[in-house]
Structure 1
C-alpha cells in the first residue's frame, strides 16, 4: 500500500522558501566573489543551480525528509530565483553587473592586465598556455584577450595587413 504522507508538507512552507532564497542568494554572492576562472566551461549561475537543485532534491530522493513536497518546494524556490536573477539582469542592464559576470580584459594591445590577473589568480604562464591553444605564441600578437563569464579565455589577434603580393 502506498503511504501518501510522502506528499504532505512536513516543514513550514515559508521556512522552506526562506531557506531556498537565502541559500541561493548567499551562494551566488560567494561565487561572484571567487571569480570567473573557477567556474569552468559553464557559467557560475549554471553551476550554482545544479549544485543547489541537487542538494535540495537529494533528501527527498533519499527519504531523509518525510515529504517529497518539502524537497520540491526548495527546488522550485531555487529555480524561481534563478529565473528572477536572469530576468532582472536582462530587464535592467545597469543591475546586470551585480548579478552576472562580464568579460574581463586580460590582454589589451599586447599588454597583460596585471589587475585582472591578480583578481583571477592567473599567472603569465597560464595565459600563455591558453594563447597557445588558440595558436598564438606571442602575447604581442594579441589585440585583446578576455576571461569570459564561463571561465574560458577568448582571443582577438591583430589583423594582419595585406601586402602588395596578397592585395587584389
Structure 2
C-alpha cells in the first residue's frame, strides 16, 4: 500500500509535465469558467483526469505515489499563482488578456467564434448589465471567461 515502485523524483517530474501540458491545452480551448461549463465541457474535464492518471504516477498504485503527485500538483499551482501575481507578463501569458467582443452596439461575431463563445453569452451579459445592445459602448471577454459591458454615456458617446 505504501511501498512505491517508481522513484519519487520521477513522479514529481511526471506530475509537473502533465500539469504544464494540460495547462497549455486548457489555454488553447477557450475562456469558459467553471460556472459556464456545458455538460460536454465537464465530461472532457472528467475524462482528462482519467486519461492522465497513470501518466502522473507511471502506473505506481501506491498511496505514497498518489500523495506525491497530489502534493506536486498543488505546489506547482501555488508557485504559478504567486509568480503570476508578481509578474504581469507571466499573468498575461498564463491567463490571457481581455478581448473586445462588442463595440458601439455591435457584437463582433468573428471574435466570438475565435474565442469559442456563443453570442448568447454576450446577450446574457447585456441583460445582467441592464443594457440594451444599442446602448453598449464596449463588451469585453475577460481572462476569467466573464463578459463585461461598458455603456455609452448619457450623451451617446
Q: CA deviation at 1:120?
A: 1.6
Q: TM-score of the superposition, structure 1-length normalised? A: 0.68
Question: Quick check: 1:143 aligned with 2:137?
Answer: yes
Question: Quick check: 1:74 aligned with 2:69?
Answer: yes
The answer for unaligned runs of 5 or more in structure 2 is 37-41
Partners of 2:142 and 2:121 in 1: how far apart? 15
Match of 1:120 among 103, 115, 124: 115
Q: CA deviation at 1:144?
A: 1.9
Match of 2:22 among 4, 11, 27: 27
- Equivalent residue of 2:6, what SS? coil
Q: CA deviation at 1:121?
A: 2.8
Partners of 2:62 and 2:121 in 1: how far apart? 48
Question: Quick check: 1:158 aligned with 2:152?
Answer: yes
Q: Is the 8 A contact 1:8 1:69 kept in 2?
A: yes
- Equivalent residue of 1:41, what SS? helix
Q: CA deviation at 1:26?
A: 0.5
Q: Is the 8 A contact 2:139 2:150 kept in 1?
A: yes
Count of aligned pairs between the two proteins:
142
Larger radius of gyration: 1
Provide closer, same or farther for how the CA distance between residues 81 and 132 of structure 1 changes in structure 2, counting only shifts above 3 A: same
Taking only aligned residues, the RMSD between alpha carbons, in angstroms, comes to 3.1
Q: TM-score of the superposition, structure 2-length normalised? A: 0.72
Q: CA deviation at 1:153?
A: 1.5
- Deviations 1:58-93 (Å, cap 9, x if unpaired)? 89xxxx954211101101111111112212212221
The answer for unaligned runs of 5 or more in structure 1 is 1-5, 162-168
Moved over 6 A (4+): none
